[in-house]
């Protein structure tokens, strides 16, 4: 559950980790089984694609589903984050990014701190993204693409793009991206369902559209130190939660399923 020394070193060097086989097929099925109900809801937490009715991202999931309430407290997500940051963390954002077969749209080149700072007034780029792949992610269905080492350059200049997709995003301009790729290359975060990803707040990343017949669904939890909380509240709660209660890892093993059977209290 804890990261070993070479994983920590790789994270510091590259800015991300791809960790296979962290969640079982049964656990992934449990998380996926919630999605038809959650995606069918017409509410502001569900952002739909610009060109279709398909859900692009569904937020606030730990407040909408007991399964996701357990997921945000899963020690496999929380403990590595606490290990890397060394302090109490709150749940900043909880979502599933779905890239529907044939229509899932791009995520432009960006790093999350541009939004966290620009929109929410987060002081420092400390937040971590913790993902679980819920489908097989391959080169055809729009994998996340990382620029290794781009976090070490410090935050790149970013501008707010409200046009390209249905989700406003602070994006990095092409010239900067080209330089970063020249230095660091590209890695696509592919893997079978149950693979976990961790990446930092200044790592430049994006993903292309899904032209394949295979959906690409990814669970994403953002944890941020309580000491580094938002200072501005202009975005709705589901985009940056106000509840700064430190997230407490669930007891028991394996976590998602054990908690289900035992009826463990699930609120973060």
What are the tokens at 106?
A: 């791009």
- In this structure, the strands spanning 216-225 and 187-188 are unpaired
Specify whether the CB–CB gap between 148 and 184 falls below 8 A. yes
Region binding Mn ion by CB under 5 A among candidate stretches 19-27, 37-45, 111-119, 192-200: 111-119
Binder to ligand SIN among 3, 128, 218, 247 (CB under 6 A)?
Answer: 218
Nearest to 70 by CA among 23, 116, 36: 23
Instruction: Identify any residues that bridge with 98 across adjacent strands, giving them in sequence order.
Output: 217
User: Any contact of residue 107 with ligand SIN (CB under 6 A)?
Assistant: yes
Number of separate helices (H) and strands (E) present in the chain: 8, 13
User: Any contact of residue 97 with ligand SIN (CB under 6 A)?
Assistant: yes
Binder to Mn ion among 74, 105, 112, 120 (CB under 5 A)?
Answer: 112
Binder to ligand SIN among 92, 165, 195, 220 (CB under 6 A)?
Answer: 220
DSSP state of 136: -
* Smallest separation, CB 66 to ligand SIN (Å): 24
User: Any contact of residue 201 with Mn ion (CB under 5 A)?
Assistant: no
Residue by residue, DSSP assigns 59-75 as E-GGGT-HHHHHHTT-H
Binding mask 149-188 for ligand SIN (x = CB under 6 A): ----------------------------------------
* Smallest separation, CB 223 to ligand SIN (Å): 14
Which residues form the interface with Mn ion (CB under 5 A)?
112
């Amino acid at each position: 559950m804890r990261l070993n020394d070479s994983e920590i070193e790789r994270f510091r060097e590259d800015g991300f980790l791809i960790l296979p086989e962290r969640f079982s097929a049964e656990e992934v099925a449990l998380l996926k089984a919630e999605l038809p109900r959650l995606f069918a809801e017409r509410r502001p937490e569900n952002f739909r694609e610009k060109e279709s009715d398909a859900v692009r991202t569904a937020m606030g999931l730990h407040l909408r589903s007991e399964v996701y309430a357990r997921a945000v407290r899963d020690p496999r997500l929380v403990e590595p984050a606490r290990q890397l940051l060394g302090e109490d963390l709150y749940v900043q954002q909880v979502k599933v990014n779905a890239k529907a077969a044939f229509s899932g749209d791009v995520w432009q080149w960006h790093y999350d701190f541009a939004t966290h700072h620009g929109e929410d007034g987060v002081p420092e780029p400390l937040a971590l993204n913790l993902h679980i792949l819920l489908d097989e992610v391959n080169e055809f269905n729009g994998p996340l693409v990382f620029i290794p080492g781009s976090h070490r350059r410090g935050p790149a200049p970013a501008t707010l793009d409200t046009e390209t997709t249905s989700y406003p995003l602070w994006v990095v301009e092409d010239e900067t991206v080209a330089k970063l790729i020249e230095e660091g290359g590209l890695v696509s975060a592919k893997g079978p369902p149950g693979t976990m990803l961790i990446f930092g707040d200044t790592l430049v990343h994006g993903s292309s559209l899904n032209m394949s017949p295979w959906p690409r669904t990814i669970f994403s939890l953002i944890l941020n130190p309580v000491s580094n909380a938002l200072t501005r509240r202009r975005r709705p709660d589901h985009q940056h939660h106000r509840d700064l209660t430190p997230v407490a890892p669930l007891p028991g093993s394996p976590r998602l399923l054990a908690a289900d059977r035992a009826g463990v209290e699930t609120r973060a």
